[in-house]
Amino acid sequence: MQSLIPKLLSQGHSIVGVDNLYRHGEASKLANKEYPLLKIDLTDRSKTEDLCKGFDVVFLAAAKIYGVGGFNHYCGDIIADDIAIQGNILQSCAKHGVKHVVYISSSMVYETCVQDVNIPVTEDMIDSCEMPKTEYGVSKMIGERICKAFHKQYGIDYTIWRPFNIITPSETGMNELGFSHVFADYIKNILIEKKNPLPIIGNGEQIRCFTWVEDVSSILAEYSFDDRAKGQAFNICNVEPISMKTLAQKIYSYSDNDADLTFETTKNFKHDVLVRIPSVQKFTDTFKKYAYQSVDKSIDICVKHTMNNLS
C-alpha cells in the first residue's frame, strides 16, 4: 500500500491510512504529511465500527502475511485476525454506505488448484478447487467471499485483485528462514550473511512467478475505479516462471564469491505449493496487455538497494 498511496494522491484522492504497524513500523515518509495515518487494531470492532464513515472507496489490504514458514508458525493468529479484520471493515462500510471496496487478495487462494507448469491458473478456477490448505490461503478466500456477501446483502461494489509474489526492496529478511518471503530471505542470506550452502525450503525446485511492487500499485491505481473492474477478480502477475534455485543463482551472481553456490534443505512444509503460474488473460481482455517489469530488473533494483543501505 505504501507504493499505491502516492499514486492515488497524485490522482487527487483524499486518503486516510490505517495500520497497526506491527511488522514494518511507519514505513511511509509521506504518512502524516500528505495523508493522516491512524494506528488502529482492526481486529477490535469497537474501534472500527465508524472507521469507514465518510469514504466512497475502501482499499482493504490489511492482513498478517509472512513467507511459508510464517504461514505455519502463526496459523492461528492469521486465520482469526485476518477474518476479523475483513468482517469488521465490511461491517463499517455497510453501516456508513461506502460504495466500493477494493480487496487485495492473494495467489494463495489457488493453493490447491492445478500444479502443472502447462496449466496456468485462471480466476474462475477457485470455484471448483478444494479449500486452500494453509490458514492464510483460507483467510484470503473467505475475504473474497465476504466482499461478495456484502455486495449481495448491502449492494457494496467490490473489486478483487490477486497479486502473485510481490517483490519489494522495502522487505528485509527475518532471522528465521521462511518468515519473510523467499526473495527477501535470499538477499539477506546470500549477499549480507554470505551463506554457502544456502539454506532452502524443500528441494528448491518450486516454481513461482514474481511481480514488481510498482506494477501492482500502478494497476490498482489505474483500474480499481474502472467500472469494468466492479464485481470482478483479476490476477496480477509477471508471468515469468522461475525455480527457487534459479532465483538464488541470479542473486548469487551479484556476490563477490567465486565458489559455486550450493544448497542445504533445512525445512520442509507439507503444504508448500510446488508450482504456481497464473494466467493474466482476463486482465488483458478486459483492459489491455500490461508490460510487467522482468525478474532480472527487479533483482537488480533490490540488490542495489540492499547494498547501498549497507555502505
Percent of the chain at pLDDT exceeding 90: 76
Mean pLDDT for 66-94 is: 89
Mean pLDDT for 285-311 is: 93
Mean pLDDT for 142-163 is: 98
CA dihedral sign, ordered 229, 160, 131, 271: positive
Q: Is-contact 245 204, C-beta < 8 A?
A: yes
Question: CA 11, CA 222: separation in Å to the nearest integer?
Answer: 9
The total domain count for the chain is 1
Q: Which three cell numbers stand for residue 272?
A: 508448500
Q: How many CB atoms lie within 10 A of CB 289?
A: 10
Residue type, 32: N
Which band of pLDDT confidence, cut at 50, 70 and 90, is reported for residue 278?
very high
Q: How far does Cα 198 stand from its chain's mean position?
A: 25
Mean pLDDT for 77-98 is: 97
Q: What is the pLDDT of residue 2?
A: 81
Question: CA 74, CA 179: separation in Å to the nearest integer?
Answer: 10
- Three-state secondary structure of the chain: CCCHHHHHHHCCCCCCEEECCCCCCCCCCCECCCECEEECCCCCHHHHCCCCCCCCEEEECCCCCCCHHHHHHCHHHHHHHHHHHHHHHHHHHHHCCCCEEEEECCHHHHCCCCCECCECECHHHHHCCCCCCCHHHHHHHHHHHHHHHHHHHHCCEEEEEEECCEECCCCCCCCCCCCCCHHHHHHHHHHHCCCCCEEEECCCCCEECCEEHHHHHHHHHHHCCCHHHCCEEEEECCCCCEEHHHHHHHHHCCCCCCCCCCEEEEECCCCCCCECCECCHHHHHHCCCCCCCCHHHHHHHHHHHHHHHHC
Which band of pLDDT confidence, cut at 50, 70 and 90, is reported for residue 65?
confident
Q: Cα angle at 265 between 263 and 269, to 5 degrees?
A: 140
Q: Does residue 167 carry a pLDDT above 70?
A: yes
Which band of pLDDT confidence, cut at 50, 70 and 90, is reported for residue 298?
very high
Question: CA 267, CA 202: separation in Å to the nearest integer?
Answer: 6
Mean pLDDT for 37-55 is: 96
Q: Which three cell numbers stand for residue 11?
A: 490522482
Q: What is the pLDDT of residue 272?
A: 78
Q: What is the pLDDT of residue 73?
A: 82
Which band of pLDDT confidence, cut at 50, 70 and 90, is reported for residue 77?
very high
Question: CA 195, CA 205: separation in Å to the nearest integer?
Answer: 19
Q: Average per-residue pLDDT in the chain?
A: 92
Q: Which domain holds residue 19?
A: 4-310
pLDDT of 17-37, one tens digit each? 998 876 555 555 666 678 999
Q: Does residue 296 carry a pLDDT above 60?
A: yes
Mean pLDDT for 166-183 is: 80
More confident residue, 281 or 180: 281
Question: CA 225, CA 217: separation in Å to the nearest integer?
Answer: 13
Q: What is the pLDDT of residue 215?
A: 98
Q: What is the pLDDT of residue 229?
A: 98
Q: Does residue 135 carry a pLDDT above 90?
A: yes
CATH of the domain at 10: 3.40.50.720
More confident residue, 32 or 148: 148
pLDDT of 244-265, one tens digit each? 999 999 999 999 888 999 999 9
Q: What is the pLDDT of residue 286?
A: 98
